[in-house]
Structure 1
Amino acid sequence: MYNIQELLPDQRIVAAQRHRRVLYYVALAAIWTFNLYFVVRLVLCFSAADQNWRIWVTLLVEAILADVSRRDQRLTVSAGQASRSPPRKRLRLHGTSDLPQVDVLVPCCGEPVDVILDTVRAACAMDYPTSQFRVLVMDDGGSSALEAAIAALRLDMSHLFYHTRGKQSGKVFAKAGNLNYALFSLQEKVRPEFCVIFDADSIPMPDFLRATLPHLLRNPETALLTTRQYFYNLPAGDPLSQSRLHFYSCENAELDRCGLARDAGSGAVFRRQAIIDAGGYPTYSFSEDWQLSLVLQGLDQRTIQIQEPLQYGLVPTSLDGHIAQRNRWHIGHSQQLGVLFPPVNRTLPRPLQWTIAWNGFSILAGVSGCLVAFGTVPLLLVSGQLIPDAAPLLAKIQFVLAVLHVAGTWAYGLLQSAHTGFESAPFSRLENTWLAGAHLHAILRFHLLSSRPKGSFVTGSSANSWNRTATPSFLQKFHHNLWHNGIAYSIILLLATLGSMLLAIRAAIATPDSDRLLRLLTSVAWPPMLHICYLSLLSYWAPVSYLLNPPRYRERKDGLTWSRSGVAIPIAEVQQAVMLGGNPPVGFYRRCVVVTLVLGGLLAGGMSL
């Protein structure tokens, strides 16, 4: 019925196909190696003659941090080999007649008018018959300036409309309520087949609709398509991982192969009737997009993701904005537990309630676990021997399994990086782990002290309250980030981990010659513990690096260019930067060699005991 053509695959698809089979088998081997290792460790801990807290806490820390990689490994295995789960194709919808009706929804609440207008103009100028789509600006900020600006644009864009529920400022279910207002009120007479959501600061590319709709038209069982978010003001190196590379290129890409992709906000396209049948956007959580994905999946609907660069938005330009944005997400996940109680539990099937609650609990448990585990490492390292004594043969078996477990973890991490075209670094799931304390504080503050998260509901790139009145000096920013944003804690833990490693090495050197190697290999040089120390240093160095060398964000206007009709699109440099080169970064092979040599040396040392 529709003229849909397939384009040549881009570098993302090529990279995914190249390493898929090996990645799958390495993930499978890493999972089973850890299972065997953990069982042996557990048996030896139970049978140890000298029962003490160190051996059990060490095992707990190992299990918590191993789960960081195991989550990705399990996703890879679930998604299967390349032959069973090929990457999503690039499609284009051609023609101008008999195309489905689409409503483009742009919810906003207090963002700068010029930011919203750039999004609106780009949305109205998308390559699609204007008779077949509307752009609805839904203003919960009740801005008279925005209303007047939209009225002026309507003189040339008859398919553009302005609506408002009045000034809400986060009330009446915030963004979810705003979207439901469109679905159940504004579309009462004109009911489109599909809807698109754009954040107020996300500029769509001209071919957005023609690139996304074919996937839904070809697959009637698919209810929602989410697109990867790209940004036009990212600083060089993305030191705070604001682009969320791991989520889009690793986690959600694997979920997509299973038809279980999670919607992460802007750029989502969905069948309106499927959302209506699901009861609209969930209003029990600030992360309404994530929750909608879970609800649809619980109702046996498919949700998918495409990787093409079809929209470009803004990231927060300060550490305050970044933390506030991440805190809101985690508060939203904490609210998922509320589905088990009235009034939410009256609208969802009980099994789906438990699935949603467990998803929220597992996310919060991961945050809490990393905070506790990394904080415990220095205490363990200075406390003495961490591994219980065992018979020589059992000790060697345990040590070999420990080396194989760490080797499998590294092999998977390095292959995963290659699988994404070296877009994501090994162990990038740990991005922003150092913010775990801030997230837990925000969650407790929200549920115990305040009904709103710290920070506004406005786009994260807006100015932060602490520096709106004047431009802070370097020393003011340094002090603010050090204490208010928790980098001081990161510095303390970073130094504590390094110091405890040196003390553990010193303690091993001070032991008699016959026991020196044994003491070293059962404390700081125990392979999983050495790996955990690396992860801790990697995680807590990120904010310290940010403090010492604050990134420079591109001014919004500098990242855009305008057509003759006044439509903003990202400059060529920005668009080129998101295309994968597929080449290993500097130091990648050196890291492979170092890891191999270290693990080989540890294995040789363990076998010589």
Structure 2
Amino acid sequence: MSAQQKHVYDIQELPPDRRMLCGRQHRRGLYAVAQAAIWSFNLYFVVRLTLCFSSPNPSWRIWATLLVEAVLAHMSRHDQRLTVAAGDGAGEQPRQRLRLQGTQDLPRVDVLVPCCGEPVEVIVDTVRAACTMEYPRSRLRVRVLDDGASAALEAAVAALRPQWPHLFYHTRGKQSGKVFAKAGNLNYALSTLQAQDEVQPDFCAVFDADSIPMPDFLRATLPHLLRNPQTALLTTRQYFLNLPAGDPLSQSRLHFYACENAELDVGGRARDAGSGALFRRAVILEAGGYPTYSFSEDWQLSLVLQGLGHPTIQIQEPLQYGLVPTSLDGHIAQRSRWHIGHSQQIRALFPPTSHSLPRPLQWSIAWNGTSILARSLGCLLAFALVPLLLASGGALIPVASPVLVQTQLLLAVLHVALTWAYGCLQSAHTGFQTSPFAHVENTWLAGAQLHAVLRFHLFASRPKGSFVTGSSANAWNRSSAPSALQQLCHNLWHNGIAYSVLLLLATLGAVAFSIWSTLTATDSDPLLRLLTTVAWPPMLHILYLAVISYWAPVSYLLNPPRYPDRKAGLALSPSGVAFPTREIQEGVQPQGKPSVGFYRHCILATLVLVVLLGAGLML
């Protein structure tokens, strides 16, 4: 038994915040609707599949339509299954807000700040905040791990050391552009630097170079690991200083943190997907350190730990504030690099990785990466098929008899209604921080991401852009400022917005053509033809998803967002350390009430489904 397990720590339990209260208020309803949505789709899909097989005149349209429905419904079902697996919350309390009290005999902690080419002033702000966290300095050490071998950064750290002697600078030499540099950098600290110490730290915290930790970070995170000796890693939700108004590119990743990872957290399966992780050093070393077979080393570490039986958790408190890429190039480069990392998960099946992991875990890791890529490919193909299906002019479902059409329509309305109900409750569950169907955020990037994956594996063994960050502030991504016309052409062709524009116009054009051809046809019942083509309830739902997905980059093109200046979001403390302003900190709190647009969308969806159901009964 380790020293920290023998010691009884003074841990204070704080009242729940708004995030916990929102989740507790809607949990049972969300769970019930998730179960109903899953079973309704199962019934709907079985009936549709049976009728497709038994159709006397099957066509490619009915099979392609069913495929598109299945692919896009799978994304909602992914969230619904996570909700069901997490339970209804009856008899359970949400993860508590805890604070570690006292100053005596606390665990030793190393704070690791890996960096490579980021601006020195950005790194120094992070370092200052890390050095001044509310924790005994005799039990805290901050290590700057510089893979850029920056003389300016080394000098800046040296200038800070007289004030904070628990701060240290380390470098392996210039590693920029080398594969797995960040994982290797962290492993260097865990295995080489710390092994040279007389006493090794009990825990390690990792911050990205641009993520400023709040003073109570360690006081808020350590209690969760101290209370649960089996838990190996804690990840914190990321918050940002420079999000533009409305977050048009969904750079905050609210859906991932507040919906997906929050549900995984209930079962101890949260994924570390960024800065602000705290872990037990001994357990990570036993697991082989950070995996080096993928660029997404933090995500892979979570999967390895879970596969070896170590729970991983997430807390939602705002304990760190970072930066999002401030250009479309940076955003795409960042997301593409993540997808390349997922594509590399197949390497878990091959040496040398396969020598250190159990075979079932290897397959689990490979499947996780493959399924993520498959979802991107599925969305790309599904949305591209929609205008083709509508422009083809034929029925999208079997129409052997009015009774069979009515049966399918009834089940389709039920399936779509429950999908919308789940999406709305999921939004309420997060305090209305996300919109319904936020899981389709950035699906318009699927083509660029898959192109990056193919380019990496077939033509160039490095992602386009930087290995370090997607931020345009990174030294490896800087270029001369283009003119407005050059930027427009660049965004249209290089960043793939032209594809989004064309697909959006093709989709809207196909809808108009389908309606026109239905109203002008004289060889069939217009109502039946309308309900089995463009007004088919799942097709209307898919059209809604396609429009909101592909409108995002078009909106960016027409009205580029203004990213707040990093310094404008920071305020100096009395000790001269930069922390997020009060406005930034208050802005990340959930308001607990939906926007006007939320109600309008829900009312419109309800009216459309009621009208379609009534029209179906008239057949």
Q: Which amino acid aligns with 2:140?
A: F
SS of alignment partner, residue 596 of structure 2: coil
Question: Per-residue displacement from partner, 1:501-549 (whole Å, max 9, x unpaired)?
Answer: 0111111111238610111100110100111011001100000000000
Question: Per-residue displacement from partner, 1:81-138 (whole Å, max 9, x unpaired)?
Answer: 1125532110000100010000000001111111100000000000000000100001
Q: Which amino acid aligns with 1:176?
A: A
**Which residue is 1:484 aligned to?**
494
**Which residue among 558, 563, 579 is the counterpart of 1:553?**
563
1:195/1:270 contact within 8 Å kept: yes
Is structure 2 residue 407 aligned with structure 1 residue 407?
no
Q: Per-residue deviation at 1:584?
A: 1.0
Q: Per-residue deviation at 1:429?
A: 0.6
The two structures have a TM-score, normalised by structure 1, of 0.98
Q: Which amino acid aligns with 1:87?
A: P
**Which residue is 1:444 aligned to?**
454
Is structure 2 residue 226 aligned with structure 1 residue 238?
no
Q: 1-side partners of 2:179 and 2:438: how far apart?
A: 36
Q: Per-residue deviation at 1:389?
A: 1.7
Q: 1-side partners of 2:481 and 2:169: how far apart?
A: 34
**Which residue is 1:357 aligned to?**
366
**Which residue among 113, 118, 128 is the counterpart of 2:120?**
113
Structural mapping, 1:99-498, within 5 Å? 99-171=106-178, 173-188=180-195, 189=197, 190-383=199-392, 384-463=394-473, 468-498=478-508
Q: 1-side partners of 2:140 and 2:113: how far apart?
A: 13
Q: 1-side partners of 2:55 and 2:93: how far apart?
A: 48
Mean Cα deviation higher: 450-459 or 270-279 = 450-459
1:406/1:527 contact within 8 Å kept: yes
Q: Which amino acid aligns with 2:571?
A: T
Q: 1-side partners of 2:226 and 2:494: how far apart?
A: 49
2:22/2:428 contact within 8 Å kept: yes
Structural mapping, 1:515-554, within 5 Å? 515-554=525-564
Q: 2-side partners of 1:328 and 1:443: how far apart?
A: 8
1:321/1:464 contact within 8 Å kept: no
Q: Which amino acid aligns with 1:272?
A: R
1:197/1:269 contact within 8 Å kept: yes
Structural mapping, 1:86-105, within 5 Å? 86-105=93-112
> What runs of 5+ residues in structure 2 fail to find an aligned partner?
1-7
Question: Per-residue displacement from partner, 1:418-472 (whole Å, max 9, x unpaired)?
Answer: 1100001000011100000000000000001111000112332234789845332
C-alpha change, 1:468 and 1:136, in structure 2 (3 Å) is closer
Q: Per-residue deviation at 1:392?
A: 3.3
Q: 1-side partners of 2:131 and 2:32: how far apart?
A: 47
SS of alignment partner, residue 187 of structure 1: helix
**Which residue is 1:59 aligned to?**
66
Q: Per-residue deviation at 1:593?
A: 1.4
Mean Cα deviation higher: 425-434 or 169-178 = 169-178
**Which residue is 1:5 aligned to?**
12
1:86/1:257 contact within 8 Å kept: no
1:371/1:437 contact within 8 Å kept: yes
C-alpha change, 1:149 and 1:133, in structure 2 (3 Å) is same
Question: Per-residue displacement from partner, 1:471-496 (whole Å, max 9, x unpaired)?
Answer: 32322222211111111110000000
Q: Per-residue deviation at 1:588?
A: 1.8
C-alpha change, 1:465 and 1:607, in structure 2 (3 Å) is farther
Q: Per-residue deviation at 1:371?
A: 0.2
Q: 2-side partners of 1:470 and 1:185: how far apart?
A: 40
Mean Cα deviation higher: 63-72 or 168-177 = 168-177
1:236/1:551 contact within 8 Å kept: yes
What is the CA RMSD across the aligned residues, in angstroms?
1.3
2:117/2:475 contact within 8 Å kept: no
Mean Cα deviation higher: 458-467 or 191-200 = 458-467
Q: 1-side partners of 2:9 and 2:191: how far apart?
A: 29
SS of alignment partner, residue 387 of structure 1: coil
Q: Which amino acid aligns with 1:553?
A: Y
SS of alignment partner, residue 551 of structure 1: coil
Q: Which amino acid aligns with 2:161?
A: R
Q: 1-side partners of 2:479 and 2:240: how far apart?
A: 27
SS of alignment partner, residue 269 of structure 1: strand
Structural mapping, 1:14-53, within 5 Å? 14-53=21-60
1:197/1:265 contact within 8 Å kept: no
Q: Per-residue deviation at 1:52?
A: 1.4
Q: 1-side partners of 2:596 and 2:332: how far apart?
A: 30
1:44/1:390 contact within 8 Å kept: no
Q: 2-side partners of 1:262 and 1:194: how far apart?
A: 18
SS of alignment partner, residue 103 of structure 1: strand
> What runs of 5+ residues in structure 1 fail to find an aligned partner?
none
C-alpha change, 1:465 and 1:436, in structure 2 (3 Å) is farther
Q: Which amino acid aligns with 1:166?
A: G
Identity of aligned residues (%): 73
Q: 2-side partners of 1:548 and 1:100: how far apart?
A: 52
Q: Per-residue deviation at 1:563?
A: 2.0
2:340/2:456 contact within 8 Å kept: yes
SS of alignment partner, residue 410 of structure 1: helix
Q: 2-side partners of 1:308 and 1:490: how far apart?
A: 36
SS of alignment partner, residue 201 of structure 1: coil
SS of alignment partner, residue 363 of structure 1: helix
SS of alignment partner, residue 270 of structure 1: strand
Q: 2-side partners of 1:464 and 1:295: how far apart?
A: 30
Question: Per-residue displacement from partner, 1:36-58 (whole Å, max 9, x unpaired)?
Answer: 00000000000001121111111
**Which residue is 2:614 aligned to?**
604
**Which residue among 496, 507, 511 is the counterpart of 2:517?**
507
1:79/1:85 contact within 8 Å kept: no
2:117/2:476 contact within 8 Å kept: no
C-alpha change, 1:404 and 1:172, in structure 2 (3 Å) is closer
Q: Which amino acid aligns with 2:321?
A: Y
Q: Per-residue deviation at 1:246?
A: 0.3
Q: Per-residue deviation at 1:269?
A: 0.3
Q: 2-side partners of 1:172 and 1:85: how far apart?
A: 44
C-alpha change, 1:469 and 1:593, in structure 2 (3 Å) is closer
Q: 2-side partners of 1:87 and 1:246: how far apart?
A: 18
